[in-house]
Amino acid sequence: MAKRWKQRPEGSTWGEFGEDDQLGRLNLLTTAKVLEGVQEVREGKTFCLSMPLDYPGGAVLNPRRGPPKLSPTLQDGCPCLNFPLLRLDERNTDVLSDDQVTLALQYSTQWDSFAHVGAFFDVNGDGQSEKVYYNGFKANEHVVGPVDYRPEGDVPVEGPYGARALDISNLARKAIQGRAVMIDLKKHFGLDRRYVGLEDLQQVIRADAVEVRPGDMLVFRTGFTEVLMQMNKQPDKEKLDATGAVLDGRDKALLQWITNSQVTALCADNYAVEGLPAREALGRRPSLPLHQHCLFKLGVPLAELWWLGDLADWLAAHRRTAFLLTAPPLNLPGAVGSPVTPVATV
Protein backbone atom coordinates (compact mmCIF):
# COMPACT_ATOMS: atom_id res chain seq x y z
CA MET A 1 0.00 0.00 0.00
CA ALA A 2 1.38 3.40 -0.93
CA LYS A 3 2.28 5.56 2.05
CA ARG A 4 0.59 8.68 0.69
CA TRP A 5 -2.91 7.20 0.56
CA LYS A 6 -5.16 4.71 2.33
CA GLN A 7 -7.69 4.44 -0.46
CA ARG A 8 -7.50 5.13 -4.15
CA PRO A 9 -10.11 6.26 -6.70
CA GLU A 10 -12.22 3.49 -8.17
CA GLY A 11 -10.73 2.26 -11.43
CA SER A 12 -7.39 3.98 -10.90
CA THR A 13 -3.92 2.50 -11.40
CA TRP A 14 -2.48 4.05 -8.24
CA GLY A 15 0.19 1.83 -6.75
CA GLU A 16 0.22 -0.67 -9.61
CA PHE A 17 3.61 0.56 -10.82
CA GLY A 18 4.97 1.23 -7.33
CA GLU A 19 4.10 3.52 -4.46
CA ASP A 20 6.44 6.28 -5.73
CA ASP A 21 5.64 5.88 -9.42
CA GLN A 22 5.49 9.07 -11.47
CA LEU A 23 5.30 7.58 -14.99
CA GLY A 24 1.89 5.88 -14.92
CA ARG A 25 1.04 4.01 -18.09
CA LEU A 26 4.32 5.17 -19.63
CA ASN A 27 5.78 2.23 -17.73
CA LEU A 28 4.23 0.14 -20.52
CA LEU A 29 6.33 2.04 -23.07
CA THR A 30 9.07 -0.57 -22.83
CA THR A 31 12.09 -1.28 -25.01
CA ALA A 32 9.93 -3.88 -26.76
CA LYS A 33 7.36 -1.18 -27.57
CA VAL A 34 10.09 1.07 -28.95
CA LEU A 35 11.18 -1.78 -31.21
CA GLU A 36 7.55 -2.28 -32.29
CA GLY A 37 7.54 1.37 -33.32
CA VAL A 38 10.82 0.99 -35.18
CA GLN A 39 9.33 -1.97 -37.08
CA GLU A 40 6.68 0.41 -38.45
CA VAL A 41 9.41 2.42 -40.22
CA ARG A 42 9.52 1.28 -43.83
CA GLU A 43 10.42 4.37 -45.86
CA GLY A 44 12.35 6.59 -43.46
CA LYS A 45 9.99 9.48 -44.20
CA THR A 46 9.45 11.94 -41.32
CA PHE A 47 6.64 14.31 -40.40
CA CYS A 48 6.85 17.24 -38.00
CA LEU A 49 3.70 17.17 -35.86
CA SER A 50 4.08 20.61 -34.27
CA MET A 51 2.43 23.85 -35.23
CA PRO A 52 4.63 26.95 -35.13
CA LEU A 53 4.72 27.80 -31.42
CA ASP A 54 3.31 31.29 -32.01
CA TYR A 55 0.00 29.69 -33.00
CA PRO A 56 -2.95 29.81 -32.26
CA GLY A 57 -2.37 33.55 -31.85
CA GLY A 58 -3.79 35.82 -29.17
CA ALA A 59 -5.33 34.34 -26.04
CA VAL A 60 -8.74 33.31 -27.37
CA LEU A 61 -8.48 29.57 -26.71
CA ASN A 62 -7.31 30.11 -23.14
CA PRO A 63 -7.14 33.59 -21.55
CA ARG A 64 -4.41 32.40 -19.16
CA ARG A 65 -2.02 31.65 -22.02
CA GLY A 66 -0.60 34.38 -24.19
CA PRO A 67 1.63 34.02 -27.25
CA PRO A 68 5.41 33.77 -26.87
CA LYS A 69 7.47 36.95 -26.59
CA LEU A 70 10.94 36.86 -28.09
CA SER A 71 13.62 39.30 -27.01
CA PRO A 72 17.39 39.53 -27.31
CA THR A 73 19.61 38.79 -24.34
CA LEU A 74 21.84 41.62 -23.09
CA GLN A 75 25.58 41.97 -23.42
CA ASP A 76 27.00 44.77 -21.28
CA GLY A 77 23.53 46.30 -21.25
CA CYS A 78 23.17 46.16 -25.04
CA PRO A 79 20.68 43.93 -26.91
CA CYS A 80 22.62 40.97 -28.25
CA LEU A 81 21.26 41.09 -31.79
CA ASN A 82 23.78 41.62 -34.56
CA PHE A 83 26.17 42.43 -31.72
CA PRO A 84 29.78 43.01 -32.91
CA LEU A 85 32.17 41.18 -30.62
CA LEU A 86 34.80 43.76 -31.46
CA ARG A 87 33.10 45.82 -28.73
CA LEU A 88 34.62 43.33 -26.30
CA ASP A 89 37.93 42.99 -28.11
CA GLU A 90 38.74 45.04 -31.21
CA ARG A 91 40.48 42.01 -32.72
CA ASN A 92 37.21 40.04 -32.89
CA THR A 93 35.49 39.64 -36.27
CA ASP A 94 32.35 37.89 -35.01
CA VAL A 95 28.79 39.19 -35.06
CA LEU A 96 26.55 37.56 -32.46
CA SER A 97 22.80 37.18 -31.99
CA ASP A 98 21.34 35.57 -28.87
CA ASP A 99 17.76 35.58 -27.64
CA GLN A 100 15.27 34.46 -25.00
CA VAL A 101 11.55 33.80 -24.83
CA THR A 102 8.68 34.20 -22.40
CA LEU A 103 6.40 31.29 -23.24
CA ALA A 104 3.25 29.81 -21.77
CA LEU A 105 4.32 26.17 -21.78
CA GLN A 106 0.89 24.93 -22.91
CA TYR A 107 0.16 27.67 -25.43
CA SER A 108 0.63 25.64 -28.59
CA THR A 109 1.62 22.03 -29.44
CA GLN A 110 2.13 20.52 -25.99
CA TRP A 111 2.21 17.73 -23.44
CA ASP A 112 0.27 17.74 -20.14
CA SER A 113 2.07 16.23 -17.16
CA PHE A 114 0.25 14.46 -14.32
CA ALA A 115 0.71 17.63 -12.26
CA HIS A 116 -1.57 19.49 -14.67
CA VAL A 117 -4.93 18.16 -13.41
CA GLY A 118 -5.73 16.60 -10.05
CA ALA A 119 -8.95 16.26 -8.06
CA PHE A 120 -10.48 16.49 -4.62
CA PHE A 121 -10.40 12.97 -3.17
CA ASP A 122 -10.51 11.36 0.29
CA VAL A 123 -7.08 9.70 0.19
CA ASN A 124 -6.96 9.11 3.95
CA GLY A 125 -10.36 7.45 4.20
CA ASP A 126 -11.39 9.89 6.94
CA GLY A 127 -14.27 11.49 5.08
CA GLN A 128 -12.25 14.59 4.20
CA SER A 129 -11.50 15.27 0.55
CA GLU A 130 -8.27 17.04 -0.27
CA LYS A 131 -6.44 18.16 -3.39
CA VAL A 132 -4.36 15.32 -4.81
CA TYR A 133 -2.81 14.22 -8.07
CA TYR A 134 -1.93 10.90 -9.70
CA ASN A 135 -0.77 8.16 -7.32
CA GLY A 136 -1.80 10.21 -4.28
CA PHE A 137 0.77 12.98 -4.54
CA LYS A 138 -0.77 15.82 -2.55
CA ALA A 139 -1.09 19.43 -3.51
CA ASN A 140 0.99 21.86 -1.41
CA GLU A 141 3.39 19.01 -0.55
CA HIS A 142 4.30 17.99 -4.09
CA VAL A 143 2.65 20.53 -6.42
CA VAL A 144 3.11 23.95 -4.89
CA GLY A 145 2.69 27.53 -6.02
CA PRO A 146 2.85 31.17 -4.95
CA VAL A 147 -0.89 31.08 -4.29
CA ASP A 148 -2.70 28.22 -2.56
CA TYR A 149 -6.46 28.66 -2.76
CA ARG A 150 -8.01 26.88 0.17
CA PRO A 151 -11.67 25.78 0.29
CA GLU A 152 -12.25 27.73 3.51
CA GLY A 153 -12.45 31.14 1.87
CA ASP A 154 -9.75 30.80 -0.79
CA VAL A 155 -7.02 32.42 1.30
CA PRO A 156 -3.89 33.25 -0.72
CA VAL A 157 -0.72 31.80 0.80
CA GLU A 158 2.73 32.82 -0.39
CA GLY A 159 5.17 30.05 -1.21
CA PRO A 160 7.61 28.65 -3.77
CA TYR A 161 6.43 27.56 -7.18
CA GLY A 162 6.95 24.26 -8.95
CA ALA A 163 5.92 20.64 -9.09
CA ARG A 164 8.20 18.66 -6.80
CA ALA A 165 6.70 15.45 -8.16
CA LEU A 166 4.85 14.48 -11.34
CA ASP A 167 6.45 17.34 -13.29
CA ILE A 168 7.12 17.23 -17.01
CA SER A 169 10.77 16.25 -16.58
CA ASN A 170 9.63 12.70 -15.75
CA LEU A 171 8.20 12.41 -19.26
CA ALA A 172 11.36 13.94 -20.72
CA ARG A 173 13.64 11.45 -18.98
CA LYS A 174 11.41 8.67 -20.25
CA ALA A 175 12.25 10.01 -23.73
CA ILE A 176 8.82 9.21 -25.12
CA GLN A 177 9.15 7.03 -28.20
CA GLY A 178 7.29 4.01 -29.47
CA ARG A 179 4.49 2.62 -31.61
CA ALA A 180 1.61 4.98 -32.27
CA VAL A 181 -1.59 4.60 -34.28
CA MET A 182 -3.61 7.23 -36.12
CA ILE A 183 -7.35 7.42 -35.51
CA ASP A 184 -8.65 9.76 -38.21
CA LEU A 185 -11.94 11.16 -36.93
CA LYS A 186 -12.03 13.90 -39.56
CA LYS A 187 -11.94 11.31 -42.35
CA HIS A 188 -15.13 9.66 -41.06
CA PHE A 189 -17.08 12.50 -39.44
CA GLY A 190 -15.94 15.65 -41.22
CA LEU A 191 -15.21 18.98 -39.57
CA ASP A 192 -18.50 19.62 -37.75
CA ARG A 193 -18.43 19.39 -33.95
CA ARG A 194 -19.39 15.94 -32.75
CA TYR A 195 -18.87 14.30 -29.36
CA VAL A 196 -17.28 10.93 -30.04
CA GLY A 197 -18.13 8.12 -27.65
CA LEU A 198 -17.07 4.50 -27.68
CA GLU A 199 -19.52 3.45 -30.39
CA ASP A 200 -18.20 6.08 -32.82
CA LEU A 201 -14.61 5.29 -31.91
CA GLN A 202 -15.02 1.57 -32.51
CA GLN A 203 -16.70 2.31 -35.84
CA VAL A 204 -13.58 4.21 -36.99
CA ILE A 205 -11.22 1.55 -35.65
CA ARG A 206 -13.09 -1.18 -37.56
CA ALA A 207 -13.42 0.82 -40.77
CA ASP A 208 -9.70 1.64 -40.93
CA ALA A 209 -8.52 -1.71 -39.55
CA VAL A 210 -6.64 0.05 -36.75
CA GLU A 211 -4.84 -2.41 -34.49
CA VAL A 212 -4.60 -0.95 -30.99
CA ARG A 213 -2.06 -2.84 -28.88
CA PRO A 214 -1.23 -2.48 -25.17
CA GLY A 215 1.48 0.14 -24.79
CA ASP A 216 0.50 2.04 -27.96
CA MET A 217 0.07 5.80 -28.12
CA LEU A 218 -3.19 6.92 -29.73
CA VAL A 219 -3.15 9.92 -32.06
CA PHE A 220 -6.51 11.53 -32.94
CA ARG A 221 -6.97 13.72 -35.99
CA THR A 222 -10.03 15.98 -35.81
CA GLY A 223 -8.96 18.67 -38.30
CA PHE A 224 -9.00 21.35 -35.58
CA THR A 225 -5.48 22.67 -36.13
CA GLU A 226 -5.99 22.55 -39.90
CA VAL A 227 -8.84 25.03 -39.47
CA LEU A 228 -6.90 26.98 -36.84
CA MET A 229 -3.83 27.48 -39.02
CA GLN A 230 -6.00 28.94 -41.77
CA MET A 231 -7.05 31.69 -39.36
CA ASN A 232 -3.53 33.13 -39.48
CA LYS A 233 -3.22 33.91 -35.75
CA GLN A 234 -6.67 35.47 -35.61
CA PRO A 235 -8.61 32.57 -34.08
CA ASP A 236 -12.39 32.64 -34.30
CA LYS A 237 -13.44 30.93 -31.09
CA GLU A 238 -17.06 30.50 -32.13
CA LYS A 239 -16.00 28.68 -35.28
CA LEU A 240 -13.38 26.61 -33.46
CA ASP A 241 -15.89 25.59 -30.79
CA ALA A 242 -17.96 24.11 -33.62
CA THR A 243 -15.03 22.34 -35.29
CA GLY A 244 -14.12 18.68 -35.15
CA ALA A 245 -15.23 15.31 -33.87
CA VAL A 246 -13.80 15.29 -30.33
CA LEU A 247 -13.66 12.71 -27.57
CA ASP A 248 -16.64 12.66 -25.22
CA GLY A 249 -15.21 12.67 -21.72
CA ARG A 250 -18.65 12.03 -20.24
CA ASP A 251 -18.98 8.68 -22.05
CA LYS A 252 -18.25 6.15 -19.31
CA ALA A 253 -17.91 3.36 -21.86
CA LEU A 254 -15.20 5.31 -23.67
CA LEU A 255 -13.33 5.93 -20.42
CA GLN A 256 -13.52 2.24 -19.56
CA TRP A 257 -12.20 1.34 -23.02
CA ILE A 258 -9.20 3.61 -22.44
CA THR A 259 -8.60 1.79 -19.16
CA ASN A 260 -8.94 -1.68 -20.68
CA SER A 261 -6.87 -0.90 -23.78
CA GLN A 262 -3.70 -0.18 -21.74
CA VAL A 263 -2.70 2.60 -24.12
CA THR A 264 0.09 4.80 -22.84
CA ALA A 265 -0.87 8.28 -24.13
CA LEU A 266 -3.60 10.19 -25.97
CA CYS A 267 -2.46 12.81 -28.48
CA ALA A 268 -4.79 14.99 -30.53
CA ASP A 269 -4.85 18.02 -32.79
CA ASN A 270 -7.72 19.74 -30.97
CA TYR A 271 -7.60 21.93 -27.91
CA ALA A 272 -7.88 19.81 -24.71
CA VAL A 273 -8.12 16.41 -26.48
CA GLU A 274 -11.66 16.05 -25.12
CA GLY A 275 -14.64 18.14 -26.13
CA LEU A 276 -14.93 21.43 -24.22
CA PRO A 277 -17.21 22.24 -22.69
CA ALA A 278 -17.92 18.68 -21.64
CA ARG A 279 -21.52 17.56 -21.98
CA GLU A 280 -23.55 18.72 -19.02
CA ALA A 281 -23.95 16.41 -16.03
CA LEU A 282 -25.89 16.82 -12.80
CA GLY A 283 -24.31 17.10 -9.38
CA ARG A 284 -20.63 17.24 -8.51
CA ARG A 285 -18.50 16.23 -11.47
CA PRO A 286 -15.21 17.11 -13.14
CA SER A 287 -15.34 19.86 -15.73
CA LEU A 288 -12.54 17.98 -17.55
CA PRO A 289 -13.68 14.35 -17.25
CA LEU A 290 -11.18 12.86 -19.72
CA HIS A 291 -8.34 14.78 -18.10
CA GLN A 292 -9.34 13.55 -14.67
CA HIS A 293 -9.67 9.96 -15.88
CA CYS A 294 -6.34 9.93 -17.72
CA LEU A 295 -4.06 12.26 -15.77
CA PHE A 296 -5.44 11.73 -12.27
CA LYS A 297 -6.65 8.11 -12.24
CA LEU A 298 -4.66 6.21 -14.88
CA GLY A 299 -1.43 8.10 -15.38
CA VAL A 300 -2.02 8.49 -19.13
CA PRO A 301 -0.47 11.75 -20.39
CA LEU A 302 -2.38 13.95 -22.82
CA ALA A 303 -1.04 15.95 -25.74
CA GLU A 304 -2.90 18.75 -27.48
CA LEU A 305 -2.85 20.95 -30.57
CA TRP A 306 -0.65 18.71 -32.70
CA TRP A 307 -0.34 19.18 -36.47
CA LEU A 308 -1.63 15.92 -37.94
CA GLY A 309 -3.11 16.61 -41.37
CA ASP A 310 -0.07 15.78 -43.49
CA LEU A 311 0.68 12.56 -41.61
CA ALA A 312 -2.94 11.41 -41.58
CA ASP A 313 -3.35 11.99 -45.32
CA TRP A 314 -0.12 10.13 -46.10
CA LEU A 315 -1.10 7.17 -43.92
CA ALA A 316 -4.54 6.98 -45.53
CA ALA A 317 -3.03 7.11 -49.03
CA HIS A 318 -0.71 4.23 -48.14
CA ARG A 319 -3.38 2.26 -46.25
CA ARG A 320 -1.45 2.40 -43.03
CA THR A 321 -2.32 3.54 -39.51
CA ALA A 322 0.78 2.77 -37.39
CA PHE A 323 4.08 4.65 -37.19
CA LEU A 324 7.04 5.40 -34.93
CA LEU A 325 6.37 8.41 -32.71
CA THR A 326 9.18 10.31 -31.01
CA ALA A 327 7.91 13.08 -28.72
CA PRO A 328 9.91 13.92 -25.58
CA PRO A 329 8.92 17.19 -23.87
CA LEU A 330 11.35 19.74 -22.50
CA ASN A 331 13.43 18.45 -19.59
CA LEU A 332 12.29 21.34 -17.41
CA PRO A 333 12.10 20.38 -13.72
CA GLY A 334 9.08 21.71 -11.88
CA ALA A 335 6.97 22.45 -14.96
CA VAL A 336 3.45 21.03 -15.32
CA GLY A 337 3.38 21.21 -19.13
CA SER A 338 5.71 21.57 -22.06
CA PRO A 339 5.83 22.49 -25.72
CA VAL A 340 6.89 19.60 -27.91
CA THR A 341 8.04 19.03 -31.48
CA PRO A 342 6.79 15.48 -32.15
CA VAL A 343 8.22 13.53 -35.06
CA ALA A 344 6.43 10.69 -36.84
CA THR A 345 8.56 8.28 -38.88
CA VAL A 346 6.89 5.93 -41.38
* pLDDT tier for residue 139 given thresholds of 50, 70 and 90: confident
**Nearest alpha carbon to residue 288 among 248, 258, 252, 254:** 248
Asked whether 108 and 340 are in contact (CB, 8 A), the reply is no
Tens of pLDDT along 231-259?
999 999 999 999 999 999 999 999 999 99
What is the domain partition of the chain in residue ranges? Answer: 24-59+107-116+164-345, 69-102
Q: Can you identify the CATH homologous superfamily of domain 24-59+107-116+164-345?
A: Putative cyclase (3.50.30.50)
Most trustworthy range by pLDDT among 158-167, 274-283, 301-310: 301-310
Three-state secondary structure call for residue 244? coil
Tell me the CA end-to-end span of the chain in Å, nearest whole number.
42
Give Cα separations from 83 to 26, 71, 91, 102, 180 (angstroms): 45, 14, 14, 21, 45
pLDDT at 1 over 50: no
Region 290-317 average pLDDT: 98
Residue 141: its pLDDT value, please? 78
Bin 38: left if φ > 0, else alpha if -120 < ψ < 50, else beta. alpha
Burial of 159 (0-12, 13-18, 19+ CB in 10 A): exposed
Single pTM value for the model:
0.93
